[in-house]
Structure 1
Amino acid sequence: MTRRIDINCDMGESFGKYTKGEDAAVMPHVTTANVAAGFHGGDPHVMRETVALAAEHGVRVGVHPGLPDRLGFGRRRIDATPAELRDYVVYQLGALRAVADRAGVEVTHVKPHGALYSMLSDSEPHARAVLDGVAAVDPDLVYLATDARLYEVAGDYPFPRVLEGYVDLDYRADGSVVIPKEKSARDPELVADRFVAVATDGEVETPEGETVAVPADSICVHGDTPNVVEILEAIHARIDGTDIELVGVDEVARAAE
């Protein structure tokens, strides 16, 4: 039986003279791009370039909204009300949709970034405010849920939802993810092993050897990992000839309905 799965990557996070990630080298290897929209990273020119690059490679485009925190790259929490978080997300969604419309590209999904996603996961009122805002703009957008709690809350809304998993980060036995302060190179073969394990069995092994359930239909590979291209090449080589088929996030969402 064919297992259809998405590879998503956070992209377009460079701005001004600052470069973040290797978008041009990564884009040919992924199926979905989460594009920063100017708050934690990105700027109008980078957004335009990233959307065009995704279109060139047939990669799905979605918004990757963050907190208004460029200095901390959107990884620092701020004291914001549910309504304020909703407005931040709707604002960034509108910006990316305008850039995508001009390029003739469809915006398929929303995936929160950094501290924003942590705030939504920890506070249901904040999560519901953001989801209300997204649904009011476009109820057909896919919500790419960064953890099981957000996936469950999103089930009360009209849009399709997809659960995300990670293979270039380590899981703890309780299912939480270890977020390093600084990204370092990962063993491409180990990451490829994890990819196949999540895609075929819905599970991953912790560094301590415990098995954790990760029933994900979309797997995130982080574009700022130093050897990300080598990792993606190893994943593609590993799944070549298997029953794993790579598709965009909207396709796995439709299959799950």
Structure 2
Amino acid sequence: MPGTTPRSLDLNADLGEGYGRYTLDGDVDVIPHITSANIACGFHAGDPRTLDAAVAMAAEHRVGIGAHPGFPDRVGFGRRMMALSSEEIITDVVYQIGAVQAFCRRHGTRLRHVKPHGALGNLAWTDDRAAEAVAAAVESVDPRLTVMAWHGSALERQARRRGLAVAREAFLDRAYAPDGTLVPRSRPGAVLHGEGAILDRARRLARDGTLEAIDGTVLDVAPDSLCLHGDTAGAVDLLAKVGAALQAEGVTLRAFSAAGEGT
């Protein structure tokens, strides 16, 4: 509710997005500064060794682990739209969830949430067919899993329709359009780079759950979790500062999945 400081917020990052000999600077180094990790599953990025290392480190730091499934598009980093049938989306998402789930078992922990990546996530924001397919995939694997979605999105609607838990997410490093969707990365200003702008957004979201769209429109996004992308320049330092800023606002940093611990 606007004007009310939440007692707790989750802080998440997308990671495990290297592949083979190609690694991203600071990728898993963000883990000590977050409470939930969205780990690439091998389609848009990641491989068995990268996935294993990310899950192991997240488990060591008691960070909530999520699968970050995307389109099968390594060349485009999963950020290019693909025309897949509902069944293709379902089976691709099930496959990717299963990969992370297996490594969670290997390291004595469990998978807690699912967050679609890139173009798949953008499609599930507005398209009920794609959103229903993602939600169906999650439910078929484990209905205890939380779906990370955007406030008012088709994915939130379809996940709730199936009785799945939803954690609403807001982005600290992406610009928003007036309709609440993300500004396409191809447009200038789509990514927030300035430390001051990112910290100001974190504080505002902590205070009243709102943020400002690119045209000045105030959006009430009511987040449960805040995301800063692991491939954002200086992500490790930024996340440390975001965490400190949130705590200064009286917010406890806590994985949203912790509420279901032991269930």
TM-score by length of 1: 0.91
CA offsets 1:25-72 (integer angstroms, 9 cap, x no match): 211111000001100000000000000111121111110001111111
Q: Name the residue aligned to 1:140.
A: 144
Q: Which residue of 1 aligns with 2:27?
A: 23
DSSP 3-state at the match of 1:240: helix
SS for the counterpart of 2:92 is helix
| Residue segments in structure 1 that go unaligned for 5+ positions in a row | none
Distance 1:169 1:121, change over 3 A: closer
Question: Is the partner of 1:61 in helix, strand or coil?
Answer: strand
Residues of 1 paired with 2:216 and 2:133: CA distance?
39
Q: Are the aligned partners of 2:175 and 2:192 in contact in 1 as well (CA < 8 Å)?
A: no
Q: 1:237 & 1:134 partners in 2: Cα distance?
A: 33
From 146, 160, 172, the counterpart of 1:155: 160
* CA displacement 1:141-187 (0-9 Å, x = unmatched): 00001452221221111221111101111223332222434987722
Which range is displaced more, 184-193 or 140-149? 184-193
**In 2 relative to 1, CA 51–221 (structure 1 residues): closer, same or farther, beyond 3 Å?**
same
- Partner of 1:67 in structure 2? 71
Q: Which residue of 2 aligns with 1:166?
A: 171
1:184 and 1:226 in contact (8 A); partners too = no
Where does the alignment leave 5 or more consecutive residues of structure 2 unmatched?
none
For 1:224 and 1:76, the matched residues in 2 are separated by 17
- Alignment of structure 1 residues 105-120 onto 2, 5 Å: 105-120=109-124
Q: Structure 1 19/146 Cα, relative in aligned 2: closer, same or farther at 3 Å?
A: farther
Give the whole-Å Cα distance in 2 for the aligned partners of 1:194 and 1:108: 26
1-side partners of 2:208 and 2:43: how far apart?
37
Of residues 42-51 and 123-132 in structure 1, the stretch that sits farther from structure 2 once superposed is 123-132
* Matching residue within 174, 182, 189 for 1:177: 182
**Contact 2:41–2:99 (CA under 8 A) maintained in structure 1:** yes
Match of 1:211 in 2: 218
> Which region of structure 1 is more displaced relative to structure 2, 164-173 or 184-193?
184-193
Tell me whether 1:129 sits opposite 2:133 in the alignment. Answer: yes
CA contact (8 A) 1:169 1:178 kept: yes
Instruction: Please give the alpha-carbon distance, in whole angstroms, between the structure 2 residues aligned to 1:209 and 1:125.
Output: 31
Q: Does 1:191 align with 2:198?
A: yes
Give the number of aligned pairs: 254
- Distance in 2, matches of 1:222 and 1:2, equals 22
Q: Deviations over 1:163-213 (max 9, x none)?
A: 110111122333222243498772222211111211220101235443222
Deviation, structure 1 residue 22:
1.5
Question: Which residue does 2:9 correspond to in 1?
Answer: 5
* Partner SS, residue 6 of structure 1: strand
Change (3 A) 1:65 1:96: same
Maintained 8 Å contact 2:174/2:192: no
Question: What TM-score do the two structures reach when normalised by structure 2?
Answer: 0.89
What amino acid does structure 2 have at the position aligned with 1:108?
R
Higher mean C-alpha deviation, range 145-154 or range 186-195:
145-154
2:161 partner SS: coil
Cα drift, residue 21 of structure 1: 4.7
Selected match of 1:89 from 86, 93, 107: 93
Query: 1:214, CA displacement in angstroms?
Result: 1.6
Q: Secondary structure at the match of 2:112?
A: strand
User: What percentage of aligned pairs have identical amino acids?
Assistant: 38
1:44 and 2:44 aligned? no
Deviation at residue 2 of structure 1 after TM alignment: 5.1
The answer to whether the Cα contact below 8 Å between 1:185 and 1:226 also exists between their aligned partners in 2 is no
In the alignment, what sits opposite 2:234? 227
